[in-house]
Chain A
């Protein structure tokens, strides 16, 4: 290869990179301008339709056709979103009526969007969720399409879709959605499931029953997500949780979640079980004892006190630490724990002293 060719290649790359920079700046600037101008046009058109609705007239078919055509493109739907956001903030009720009347447009668009690139698809369920468009609708075709989107490899597409499904407030659909996500190969973070369920605005007790009806069909991780949701969402399910807590054959993670549930919602039937787990580590992995020790802060009595003092000398760092935190939270004083401070176990003394001192410092900080 002659060296001159190399020089020409370098020059060509230099020129193309300069062009690349210029073209991209131009595209970004143009896109921003186009978005502003299109959203202004949308705002004008939608406001006109809303005025008609206020006068008792329906949304015209011409407008629906216009929406079908424009919202099919990414530039159109982003401009529509920008315009609608402004209108919705000023007139939420009439905007909802407008969206109610134009539902057929979104039904049509669902089929248009499912065949697009996943990055573009993700925006569509986001719009459905943002404006609560699906709340009062029964459309089997649309729900089937949405459930299909949950199989997407794009996590944002799945996340936006499941939020749109939650906004429909249909427990059976939530269960179906979780089953689909449970079966797909792509990773879906447990936090997304648990925190997502907390967004569900429908009747939580009906949802709870639906989830428990299908509970055995879920994977362990999904079962844990669901149980965590009950705990964080304050959905009371004591009897079901007791069953899980007592069932030695149940998966460890589910039982951990049950222990944590009874830490938040104290239950007399759970008390002896938790005290037993906190006291007897034999035959169980150490996490049981550590988590159960933590839960005892909701079960103050003499038995609990004895277990906590004993666990302060556990060989497991986490059991010792949780026990000390528990003693501090239950309000035990240096006087109550005199045997620990006079005892031989330096580790127990040190950790207990730290938490009691911390309590004093925190109190002083509050008083200041």
Chain B
């Protein structure tokens, strides 16, 4: 191939890559600015009593799907029992654990076996036994069922739920004491809310007591700390921005509330995907828009759930592969939504964004970097200029990440030490340049062995939390 042709090809790649980067940086800028402004506005609204001054209790069922969670399940339930909310029940679904998850719970809460009939509104694997406790401040139910995956466990929980709204959460997460009260606010504000997502924050090294933060500091583990910055960016950025036009495609499986009736009508969680949380939200969009049902999917910025993030690269890789496969499965399953006028902004903006900047981003990013390396070797790359450009781009991303991080800290009344501020400033550049690229590569190879992992719970190492 002649040099001229090669140069033309690389110029074209360069132009496409730059357009892609401009697209992403514009999105990031818009979303961080809108996100930060929304948080500051919310703080002002709270100060001016634009909030419900009385407690209004919407009945909620908390569904906790658990698989081999003997280390954390008792603590998780303990934290749920201290929530500052009156009208809720807890349903723990043990998805055929191989460890003593059920037994730990039965012993800890003195639970009794019951023969409770459960109405199967959504298909799921059969139950093996059911235990209830009548000694707690709210009803506590344990359902042990045949293994069927997380989605199946959640469906069982929905079937057993007594109340009109249910919350799904992970067995290794802790809900902040006021999280339920905050999560129902969008339901009281608007009549047609079918789902509300909460904010998930890494709990590594955070001390919690009765669901309240006693001591807040950044995780000591560098990997966990970088994930914290990443969480703040994504929760502040995309979720608030998409919320503005009812275009949220993700409600984290770690903390989200759904209207039971609508979820059942839409068919519940999909057993066949790894990203059952995202799939459900996309399905709700599709179901409501297809059936012309007025609906909204909201994001409650101040409803907080604390969760452990992986501290080992191996665990993080497993988690991210799983998320990426889930994303792919969901996007593929609902591909009819792409740029389809019937689905409005969800099809045109949210779907396209997730396709280009989430699903295809590892391919585009890795391809872009490989192209640069190749171009360098054939001596058609202006290396000093490219390094300068990438440095500025990384700085830009880092500053926006820090804006997201500090906006969150300032608006949720958490205080951090100067040492932690410096740590965040130093690590954000590393997160943007290194972790992001490693994760891009991990997501790129996520499809390897994907059929084997279909119903895998995606285990990561658990440790007891400071609660």
Contacts and interface: CB of A to CB of B under 8 A. Distances in A.
Interface of A: 3, 6-7, 10-11, 13-14, 17-18, 20-21, 24-25, 28, 74, 78, 119-120, 122-123, 126, 154-157, 159-160, 163, 187, 189, 191-192, 195-196, 199, 317, 347, 350-351, 353-354, 357-358, 361-362, 364-365, 368
Instruction: Give the dominant DSSP class at B's interface.
Output: helix
Interface in B25-62: 25, 29, 32, 36, 40, 44-45, 47-54, 56, 58
A14 B402 contact: no
B191 A353 contact: no
Nearest to A127: B49
B262 interface: no
A161 to B, nearest CB: 12
A10 B388 CA distance: 12
B162 to A, nearest CB: 10
A350 B115 contact: yes
B116 interface: yes
20 contacts: A3-B385, A10-B393, A14-B392, A17-B399, A21-B402, A28-B410, A120-B48, A156-B45, A156-B50, A157-B50, A160-B49, A160-B53, A187-B192, A189-B56, A189-B191, A192-B52, A192-B188, A354-B114, A361-B114, A365-B135
**Residue of A10, A120, A187, A317 contacting most chain B CB atoms (<10 Å):** A10
B403 A21 contact: yes
A122 B132 contact: no
A3 B406 contact: no
A345 B389 CA distance: 75
A17 B396 CA distance: 9
B9 interface: no
A25 B48 CA distance: 19
Interface residues of B, number: 48
B91 to A, nearest CB: 15
Contacts of A20: 36, 403
B335 interface: no
A11 B395 CA distance: 9
B429 to A, nearest CB: 12
A267 to B, nearest CB: 27
Contacts of B112: 361, 364
A13 B399 CA distance: 9
Given A191-B58, A317-B119, A351-B117, A74 B48 contact: yes
Interface string B66-86: 000000000000000000000
Given A6-B22, A17-B399, A358-B114, A154 B50 contact: yes
Given A119-B45, A358-B114, A25 B395 contact: no
A317 B159 CA distance: 13
B202 to A, nearest CB: 21
Given A24-B40, A160-B49, A191-B58, A361 B403 contact: no
A24 B117 contact: no
Across chains A and B, which 9 residue pairs bring their CB atoms closest together, nearest first? A156-B50, A187-B191, A126-B49, A365-B134, A123-B48, A350-B117, A362-B134, A10-B396, A189-B188
Interface of B: 18, 22, 25, 29, 32, 36, 40, 44-45, 47-54, 56, 58, 112, 114-117, 119, 132, 134-135, 187-192, 385, 388-389, 392-393, 395-396, 399-400, 402-403, 406-407, 410
Contacts of A189: 56, 187-189, 191
A192 B58 CA distance: 11
Contacts of A354: 114-117
A352 to B, nearest CB: 10
Contacts of A123: 48-50
Contacts of B116: 354
A126 B190 contact: no
Contacts of A122: 48-50
A228 to B, nearest CB: 14
A25 B410 contact: yes
A232 to B, nearest CB: 12
Contacts of B392: 7, 10-11, 14
Contacts of A368: 135
**Residue of A17, A196, A353 contacting most chain B CB atoms (<10 Å):** A17
A155 B189 contact: yes
Nearest to B52: A159
Contacts of A10: 25, 392-393, 395-396
B389 A78 contact: no
B48 A191 contact: no
A156 B403 contact: no
Contact of B56 (A21, A157, A195, A317): A195
A340 B134 CA distance: 26
A159 B29 CA distance: 35
B117 A347 contact: yes
B58 A25 contact: no
B40 to A, nearest CB: 7
